[in-house]
Amino acid sequence: MPTWLELVIRVGGVLVAFLTLPLVVGQAEHKVMAHMQGRLGPMYAGGFHGWAQLVADGIKFVQKEDVTPREADRAVFRLAPVVALVPYLLVLLVIPLGPDDLVGQPLDIGLFFVLAVVGVGVVAVLMSAWASANKYSLLGGLRGAAQLLGYELPLVLAAASVAMAAGTLSLGGIVEAWRPWWLLWQAPAMIVFFVAGLAEIRRPPFDMPIADSELVFGYMTEYTGLRFAFFLLAEYVGIVVIAALTTVLFLGGWQGPFADAQLGWLWTLLKVFAVSFVIIWLRVSYPRLREDQLQRLCWLVLVPLALAQLVLTTAVRLAL
């Protein structure tokens, strides 16, 4: 197969996943929240189990007027939703779906690349907050910057633990080195990574930058129509990315109970959707953390736990 054709197929597959998986997660969130909270609305659109709710939401966003505040920095204001989306697309390029290079672009330093790109999310928050010329947006952006910069540290430390255990920065190499007993050995790192990942994508209970009861809708207050929809899409893509990274780093990726490499992609997707369900469940179950609680959890719980796990991993590696 020509190199250019292989490249087109790989990039096309990633684009399909980028446009499809977040919509599936969004539809699942509508239904899961409807069942857990007794919401009737999302169960009616289109008839059977509210199948058309996502379609109705899409039509609603397309029809809404695209408004830019008069005092806003127009170029930055309009660019921010794109900056929020692009990093997640780049991350999906290097996350392996299965063995035998079933990945958009295999990288020997895939984990380093992922951690670097995910950190760009704070730029989109600050761009939208500052460019909106709105005090509620600015407050939300400052909260977001403090939150994202703080939770970067435990996220990186937890990822470093599993990379040290596997002896490689390649995401595919980490999956190949993974063993079932890592579920116990690397459990603290997995918890830290998962919680820090939730804070990175600003999902409840870590939604202080949005805080609709305090800040209208935080850094997204002035956005309407498709630009607002892009921010929501970025949130759902973020769910997929965090679930996929948790799967690849800590849950064995494509490894399943049966030694059938042909079904590797299926095991990966099942684990990703299972972790996504947990993210949705947490949104329904826990109230928003206060700012002091959020920072205390980061610096007094997650960071020490991640450092302790890193020391444990170092000791085990030296012993082996």
Q: 134: alpha, beta or left, given left = phi > 0 and alpha = psi -120 to 50? A: beta
Average pLDDT for the chain: 86
Instruction: Look at the block and give the residue holding tokens 């079904």.
Output: 263
For the stretch 158-215, pLDDT in tens is 999 999 998 899 998 899 888 888 888 899 999 999 999 999 888 888 888 887 777 7
Q: 117-148: string of b/e by CB count within 10 Å (b at 16+)?
A: bbbebbebbbbbbbbbebebbbbbbbbbbbbb
Write out pLDDT tens, residues 76-90.
888 888 888 888 988
**pLDDT at residue 1 is higher than 70:** no
Phi, psi of 120 (to 5 degrees): -70, -15
**Which of the four pLDDT bands, split at 50, 70 and 90, describes residue 278?**
very high
DSSP label at residue 290: P
- Residues 41-68 have pLDDT tens digits of 777 777 777 777 778 777 877 787 778 8
pLDDT in the model for residue 248? 93
- Please check the confidence at residue 261 and state whether its pLDDT lies above 70: no
Tokens for 83? 């900056």
State pLDDT tens for residues 87-111.
898 899 899 888 877 777 788 888 9
